[in-house]
Structure 1
Amino acid sequence: MDILIFSTSVNNADQVQQVQPILTSVQAIQDWNFDLEDCDHILRVVSHDLPPRYIESLLNNAGFECAELAY
């Protein structure tokens, strides 16, 4: 199981609701959550063998910035 961490431009609950159907539709994602209080508006994704670029492209295509953070 992998935990991927991203900096995003998702900054409020309405925007989280916009991306919710996108993230929940990916079967390889077991869990996800946002930390909107963090200055990077962190998205954490728990998955099996999912490339970070895939998550970035999902959010980018929905109109949000998304970049993997090194940890």
Structure 2
Amino acid sequence: MIFVFKTSVKTKKQIKAFKPQIDNILLKGKWNFDLDDCDKILRIESEENVVREIQKLLNIHHFYCEELD
């Protein structure tokens, strides 16, 4: 499955703060940010539905995170 999120993450330095935690959630998945996009897109490929975990993780780090349709 592919999940796409609109976020408020702006820099690679911010991503580094929670990268190990995303890697831990997505043991078999892939993920990346498009920081050039106006919506600061986080794209995830995962066999499992990880929407709630990802939203919770980014919220803990004080970032906005909304799944897009």
Give the structure-2-normalised TM-score: 0.88
Quick one: percent identity of the two aligned structures?
41
Please, which runs of 5 or more residues in structure 2 have no aligned partner?
Answer: none
Please, which runs of 5 or more residues in structure 1 have no aligned partner?
Answer: none
RMSD over equivalenced CA pairs, Å: 1.4
1:56 aligns with 2:55: yes
Give the structure-1-normalised TM-score: 0.86
- Tell me the SS of whatever aligns to 1:10: coil
Aligned match of 1:19: 18
More strand by share: 1
| Runs ≥4 residues deviating over 3 A | none
1:1-71 superposed matches below 5 A: 2-70=1-69
Length, aligned pairs only: 69
Decide which moves more: 28-37 or 38-47. 28-37
